[in-house]
Each structure stands twice: as C-alpha cells, then as structure tokens.
Amino acid sequence: MAQRTIGQLQRRIVIGAGFCIVAFALVGLRLVHVTLMSGPVTAGFSDHVEIARADLTDRNGELLARDLPVKDLYARPHVFWDKEQAARELAAATGADQHRLDFGFKNAKHPYVLVARQLTPESQVKVMHLGLPGLEFEPSAKRFYPGARTSAQIVGITDPDNNGLSGLELGLEKQIHANAGGQLATSIDSRVQYILAHEAEAARQTFSAKAAGGVVMDVNSGEVLAMISTPDFDPNARRLTAGDSTRNMMAQDVYELGSVFKIFSFALAFEDHTIRDLDEVFPIGQGYKIGKYTIHEAEHMPATLLARDILAQSSNIGTAQIALRSGSTRQAAFLANLGLLKPVKSELPETARPLYPRSNWGTIETATIGFGQGISVSPLSFVAAAATVVNGGRRIQPTFVKQAPGTDNRGEQVLKPETSQAMRDLLRYVVTNGTGRKADIAGYDVGGKTGSAQVPGPGGRYIPHALRTSFYAVFPVRNPRYIVFVLLDQPHGTKETGGFALASYTAVPIVAKVISRIAPLLGVPNNAPDPVVLARSNS
C-alpha cells in the first residue's frame, strides 16, 4: 500500500515537471518570437498609414497622383547566422544595394538597419520566402502616377519621405498636405496632355530632334491644359534609364525663339502707330546693314514686301526695320510690360530667368531682338505674353490649378483692344497666306506664327545648319480660346520634307494635328461650310 502511494506520488511529480517544461518552452518560444521576429516598438503603432498627401487629379477628375500603401523593411542583423548571405538574398529580393547592406549588417551601431523602403507586395512576398529571422515590415506610403511618362515633368515626383521634389508635387505642396486624404484638381486635361505628348514625341522621332516640348493654354483663364517635355522619365520607376530627362524644357530652359518673337514687334508697331497701313512697302534686298553688321534672311525673299507679308513670309530684314522705328528704349519697356524680362510666375516651381542685353541695348540689339535673336525666354513665358497679344490685350498669368468654368482671369490692359484685334487678323493671314499654311484646318479658324531660330553654340557662335523650330497657334482666332505652342530642338529634314527642317515643315504639322484632335474634345465647334453635293442626273 505504501509502495503504491509512493509510485503515485512519483508519477504526479513527473507529470507536473512535464507541464512545467512545456510551459517554459512556450514562454521561451514567445520570447524568441518577440525578440527576433518583431521590429521596432513604436508608441501607438498600427498597420494603418495616415495618408499624408491629397490625390492630384486632372480637371475632369482623372487621377494624376495618389498615395498607395507599401512597406518599409528593417532588419536586426545581430540575429543573422550569415550576414553576408542575408545581405545577398535581401538585395536580390528587394533591389537594395548589396554592398550597403553588407556594410550595414557588419557595422550596425543600432539594433535595426533599413533594408529597403516602399516595397511592393511582390517584393514583400519574395522577402517572406527567404525565411530570415529578425525582419520587420513597417507600414508606409508610396506615390503612384497613373500617367507615368506622359505627365512626368509637369506633375513631378516626391522623395522617399513623401515630400514634393519637383513639378506640381512641390509647387502645390501646402495645398496637397492641407487636403490630405482628399483631392486637388489641377488645370491639366489628361486627354489633351496625351495628345500633345503623342504628337510631339512622334515628331521628335520623325525629325530626329534632340528634344520636343509643347504647351496648351486657355487665353482667358490662364489655365495650362497640357505641358510636355521630351525626353521624359518614368516617375514610378524612381530611377532614370538611358536617355531619360527630368528637365522641363518649357518652364526651366530659355531659348532664342526666333521668328515667333516677331509678333511682339508688330504689336508694338500697332501700339505706337509706326505702321499705319499693312500695305506699306518695305525694301528687302539681299541684306540690311547696321554699322558693321549685316542682317540676312533665312530664306530667299523678294526685293520688296508689304508690311503684312513681312510677318506672313517671316522676313528678318523687314521686321528689323519695323522694330527700329520704335527704338531700343521703347522696345525694352514694351517687352518688360508683357512680362518677358523677368521669370514667369505660376504654381510650377521650375522657372528660368530670361537673357537679354541688360547694359547695352543699342541699335543692332533692337533690330535682332525684333526678329527673335539676342533675347532668350522660357516657352511658358512666351506663351503667357502671346496670350496677351490675342486675348484683347489683357495680362494673363499661367495657372496649373483648375478654375471655375467660364473664369476670366485676364488682368490689366497691356495692349489696346484694337491692337489685339489687328494682331489676330494678321496671325490669321500668316496661316492662310504665309508660312503657317499647313495649320489652316478647315472650320477652326487658326492663326499663328512660325519660328526657325539658329542655335547658339560654344563661344557665342551659332551652330551651322542647326535650328530650333516652333509654331505658335491660337484658335479660334476671331474669338480666341486656346493657344497651342510646340518647339523642336534641332530637327532634321526628311525625304518627305525635301530635306528642309524649317518650322513650316516640322513644327506647323504637329500643331495642326494637335488642334484637329483636341478641338472637338474642348467643345470648339467646327464652322467649316458643308460640302457641296451635286445631284446626280437621271439622263
């Protein structure tokens, strides 16, 4: 009986010890899990990430930028059995730099080392399959751009901490944070943006140009509906590949724009009544001497030209004579009043300071600036000033934020209304009877001006046979609504153009295609007369 009691007691002791061992094992496993598999302890930590930035949308509600949930990956390298192998495997799974990880794991001064930021779900799965201990996924957010390359330079990008770095992401930073979790509508029309980008890039490829850019703007509200610059880049890739560029040539570069600048010489002449009759005859000849300098034409011109044909045929000599009638002081004041002698202001942070003769604006400078040489401005600055020329003569400031329908943001009167009317008539004449004929789209009443500018090279000399071609168009020119401007940097002639690379062969057709595609989308009616249908005779 005593032996049975002792045996029962021993069994109970063994069972109790077994339970203790199991309990201690469970506690130990839990400690290992907490110690090795958990990450940094953060007060109030949760898997929910507060959206820090508002969505950016186009004017029609189409998404341009949005925060998406992602994960940042941290590691506790002291728990790795083989730190070199861990660095190698994590680099392969996440795309992180292997040498950085290897160095960080071996020389960690803190318990945690950042492996990679903003991992996609696919990368997270790859990491999980490695089965490494001591890893922590921390909730974060990554900016996603549905438009990718199409609107890269204008929308811009954010840094890994989701702060704006460029474009509207930076320029509208305060508004984006103030509307966190909501939406902020820009002036961009994604349909117009895509069409402009498609046609400009196609032309860049066709004419083997170094770069191409364009702007579409409402002349009354100042809203920029589209702005493109190619080469471009993929804002979702977060790294540049060969041939990519983050530079917005429309806003942060300045160019001698050449003959499109002639519109300002004619507008000034109308303002000052130095041209009273567009049928006035000007001598052209083979060259125009000013002191030791001689001004030449880009193409062969007749011995004389009417004033209206000086702009229509883009005569340098004729425009120089018209500019000289106003003089340097008046020309400088006029261009300054149009805003061309200072950086243009808008929500876009990228901007550029114009280049012009600040201390020696003399006779030869007046003549050359008259036809677009010797002064360099950004294309966006030019478009804003050109809008003033045709919108009734009132100052306009570009904006990238959507305005209420029918908004008229025109400011002070800069030109007389009759000057603006005369310029609209003259720009229409350029398209019907001059270098802009390829933009004469039936029913859309287009007016415009071509530009074929020489390209400055090293030492201030122009590069032989190199051109920057552009075309500025307004439609409908009788009651202006939109400007389309396109620039090609150093295009080359093709077999189809007979080897010519002038604006009338390269830039004008692009704008014509753009207008014909966007006008119906923007509700601009086509007023082309109905075709005449001849009744068939029964005889």
Q: Are 221 and 403 in contact (CB under 8 A)?
A: yes
Q: How confident is the model at residue 340 (pLDDT cuts 50, 70, 90)?
A: very high
What CATH topology corresponds to 193-521?
Beta-lactamase (3.40.710)
Residue 219, both tokens: 């002349």
**Average pLDDT, integer, range 248-267:** 97
Predicted TM-score (pTM) of the model is: 0.85
Q: How confident is the model at residue 448 (pLDDT cuts 50, 70, 90)?
A: very high
Q: Are 211 and 192 in contact (CB under 8 A)?
A: no
36-58 burial string, b = 16+ CB within 10 Å, else e?
eeebeeeeeeeeeeebbbbbbbb
Start-end ranges of CATH 3.90.1310.10 in the chain?
55-186
Q: Which residue, 414, 485, 505, 438, is CA-closest to 257? A: 485
Residue 531: what pLDDT? 66
Residue 437, both tokens: 């004929």
Q: Are 112 and 40 in contact (CB under 8 A)?
A: yes
CATH architecture assigned to 55-186: Alpha-Beta Complex (3.90)
pLDDT higher than 90, residue 211: yes
Residue 44: what pLDDT? 32
Catalytic residues: 259
Residue 153, both tokens: 């330079």
60-72 burial string, b = 16+ CB within 10 Å, else e?
eeeebbbbeebbb
Helix (H) or strand (E) holding 144: strand 135-144
**Cis bond upstream, residue 231 (ω within 30):** yes
What CA–CA distance (Å, rounded) separates 123 from 125? Answer: 5
Residue 37: what pLDDT? 40
Distances (CA, A) of 453 to 297, 427, 462, 512: 12, 19, 10, 20
Start-end ranges of CATH 3.40.710.10 in the chain?
193-521
What CA–CA distance (Å, rounded) separates 212 from 231? Answer: 7
Q: What pLDDT digit, counting tens, does each position of 157-195 carry?
A: 999 888 999 999 999 999 999 999 899 999 999 999 999
